[in-house]
A and B are shown apart, each in its own frame.
Chain A
Amino acid sequence: MASLKVYIVRRVLLAIPMIFILLSIVFLIMRVAGDPVSAILGGHAPQEQIEQIKQQLGLNKPIIFQFFGYIGQLLRGNLGRSLIWGQRPVVNEIWDHFPATLELSISAFLISIIIGIFTGTVAATHRNRFLDHTFRLYGIITYGLFIPWIGIMLQLLFGVYLGLLPIGGRIGTLMEPKSITGLYVLDSLLTLNFDSLVSAIKHLILPSVTLGVYLSGIYTRLTRTHLMETLEKDFIKAARARGLSERAVIYKHGLKNAFIPILTMMGLQFALLLVGAVLTEITFSWPGMGTLLFERITYRDFTTVQGIIVFFALIVVTVNLLVDIIYAYIDPRIRY
């Protein structure tokens, strides 16, 4: 396992240039147009005062100084402070919004995995028959679905016409559970707060179904292809020849083996989950990272946007790393 440590360290080190490149792109491009002070004051304060505030924020220095100053801080683990409003530390801003994104992502991910593996397995075991074609089409269609559109359609149906579910927000008035993890559903369960739990789940249903359905198609396709491939393998034939039941063959031997490539793809598809989460959040005014990002771009809150980019990049790296570790755990052939 020592070699696994080496592997992790190497992967993390490789992430550094990636983050650096992304940051440079974002950093330079963001400064092309506009600045936060003007975006907020918008002509109200006298010009001299605007200049003065820019100076306080260090926005009047040459870009290259700003850039290396920022990188220097970043290397010390400091994401800096927001440039607008309260100049709150960017870490706090992210910390306030991340649990919402996490909660949405987790529930959407679970929904997509359940739907995806189920439909994919059915398709793979009904190769070239009606159910196979149906679920393949399902895979293609869901991938082409435009999240805001599905979201709006669900809002119309369940929110506006049927009035069953709220169409935005995370929880009802005065229902916020005591914060432990920041995930409302989990916190409500931990504090046994029944009202909060109901409210949190109600608010979570539409956004996570929207995102979950969108992502499920990918898992349908992945499961189908890889399970089909696996079911062609000799050891499946061998397992059948030993008299194992079809369920044992498909689930224990087939799906478990097919899961390895699916897992790798999950890591690669993780970026898609984040993208989907951003759109879902904006459609459902879900107070997460996507909403934060969009709001701060409009105000040219450079440091917060940069912070979010770094954070997203770190998440992507971490998840990929995690996938590799799980991969090594599931597949005895892999040892780093």
Chain B
Amino acid sequence: MKARRMGIFKVILVILPLVALYLTPATASASKTKPIVLGTTDKITVLDPAKTYDFYTWEVFHNIGEGLLKYKPGTTELMPGIAKSYKVSSDGFEYTFKLREGLKFTDGQPLNAAAVKWSIDRVMRLKLDPSWLVSAFVKRVEVVDNYTVKFVLKKPVSFFPSLVTTTPYIPVSSKSYPADKVAEPTVGHYGPYKIKKWVRDVELVLEANPDYYGPQPKSKLFVVKFYKNAATMRLALETGEIDVAWKSLRPIDIKSLKSKGKQKILEVPGPYIRYIICRCNKPPFDDVRLREAVAAAIDRDRICREAYKGTVKPLYSMVPMGMWSHIDAFKQEYGERNLELAKKLLTEAGYSKENPFEIELWYTPTHYGDLEADVAAIIKESLEETGLIKVTLKSAEWATYAAKYITAGTMPIFLLGWYPDYIDPDDYTTVFLHSKWSPDMGVFYSNPTMDNLLDKARTEIEIKNRTELYKKVQKLMAKEAPVIPLFQGILTAATQPNIEGVILDPVMLLRYYLIYRK
């Protein structure tokens, strides 16, 4: 008996301190310089501008680095970055940038024309994922003098200043980055913040860069905390563990946070679009009437309302809302939804209730989030409401979908999404509609009029003329419907009530250095 009681006693001895441990609140670190903590479910894939090709890592580079030009926060307007000014040669072939003087990378190397040339050459030499954003357009980079650098293009590209803001154009130091391979140093950048500590997939700690030319970041210390799962992130926001929850909150969580009203929710249309692609070179969708019928029957509103709980907006053009030249082309052509028109077109094409148009609609459950299956289900239902279409849903895992099925033309009609590479209507149209690139996207669409319009818009410098050209492109696209836009993403950030300076803009890159606590 005695022995037994001893046993229990021992157990209590072990448990007691654990309970005590548990009950002690963890407040010790909170009193020091309180950093702003941002939570995200994204990840830093690779910290090298020559290799990285995802939005989140680009966002990090826009905080620890800076391009020759940058966007004015909250707009798609360009403003000077590490270049004070630039000029374009009259033939559009040469762009000459004048750099700010006396800048230094965080490893002490000077940031001058030679450094810019070295960085851009490195991207082109490594030929990695995003390098085409440079090499497809730039012929060579020349050092004019210590603070002047000249880009010679392969052919005139009207949106070159937009390209220059992208991450592959952000200069890095030759001291920290090796010339011929990928590396992930935490020094050797130049931007408002510098990296204090980085634990992959756990957290990124940024501190103000005292050498930055511009105003110092509003918060001296900024922490990014990486989550694997949005529900966890949401609870962390509610318990106050993070100050900002960025981007990937689920619609239901946004709705419920809104109704609770304890946190601020910020939303703006983002440049992220979703659409359906029809394979135009083979039956059945070589018949334009069938493409039009699908375009007319889709219930965009229901997708936005039900699957996304109002966190996305119906989209009627491939050029997103908020971008210059955007028109609601599909709305003008078909209205919001036109079941009668769809029925009429299907009947014309020879289908009836007894002999419905049978299609396989493809989607991928592993790339566009949990709601993709729901989106596909709603599209199926909305097409079947015509009574003349019978949809079989098919799915494939993303790698198969992207690597095999799209370019092979396996899927007659399928769901896809687009994050822009650079902010210009060209990036939303040419790849899908130009006969040279449309097979890469599985569209297989070819129309000389369209090719002509797109080519012209690419080289035209005058923005007014370009706007007109892209309007024509959109109208023609709506008529032929090789791709059918569905909806446009909304960028969402949820913040604690005392957080200010969260400026969302269509560039999708959040600027940490503007965020502060009231």
By a beta-carbon cutoff of 8 Å, the part of chain A in contact with chain B is: 33-47, 49, 52-53, 56, 84-87, 96, 155, 159-160, 163, 166-176, 194-195, 197-199, 201-202, 247, 285, 287, 291, 298-300
Contact = CB atoms under 8 A, between A and B. Distances in A.
Q: How large is the interface on B (under 10, 10 to 19, 20 to 34, 35 or more residues)?
A: 35 or more
Interface stretch (B83-91, B107-115, B235-243, B336-344): B235-243
29 contacts: A33-B397, A33-B400, A34-B398, A34-B400, A37-B403, A39-B403, A40-B54, A40-B129, A43-B406, A43-B416, A43-B440, A44-B53, A46-B437, A86-B47, A86-B182, A87-B51, A96-B200, A160-B235, A168-B227, A169-B232, A170-B202, A172-B26, A175-B26, A194-B24, A195-B26, A199-B26, A201-B21, A287-B228, A298-B398
Interface of B: 3-4, 18, 21-22, 24, 26, 28-29, 35, 37, 45-48, 51-54, 127-132, 136, 182, 184, 199-203, 205, 223, 225, 227-229, 231-232, 235-236, 239, 241-242, 366-367, 396-404, 406-407, 416, 421, 431, 437, 440-442
Given A38-B403, A172-B241, A176-B199, A53 B129 contact: yes
Given A45-B132, A167-B231, A202-B22, A195 B29 contact: yes
A247 B7 CA distance: 12
Given A41-B53, A52-B127, A33 B404 contact: yes
Contacts of B229: 168, 285
Given A35-B403, A195-B29, A168 B228 contact: yes
Nearest to A54: B403
A47 B440 contact: yes
B205 A174 contact: yes
Contacts of B131: 49
B234 to A, nearest CB: 10
A157 B301 CA distance: 35
A42 B236 CA distance: 32
Contacts of A96: 200-201
Contact of A159 (B130, B200, B235): B235
A321 B47 CA distance: 40
A277 B231 CA distance: 20
B253 to A, nearest CB: 12
B127 A300 contact: no
A155 B231 CA distance: 10
Given A34-B404, A163-B239, A167-B232, A201 B18 contact: yes
B242 A86 contact: no
Given A173-B223, A201-B18, A42 B127 contact: no
Contacts of A84: 45
Given A96-B200, A176-B203, A201-B21, A43 B26 contact: no
Contacts of B399: 33-36, 38-39, 298-300
A100 to B, nearest CB: 10
Contacts of B239: 163
A175 B136 CA distance: 45
Contact of A173 (B4, B45, B200, B241): B241
A85 B51 contact: yes
A182 to B, nearest CB: 11
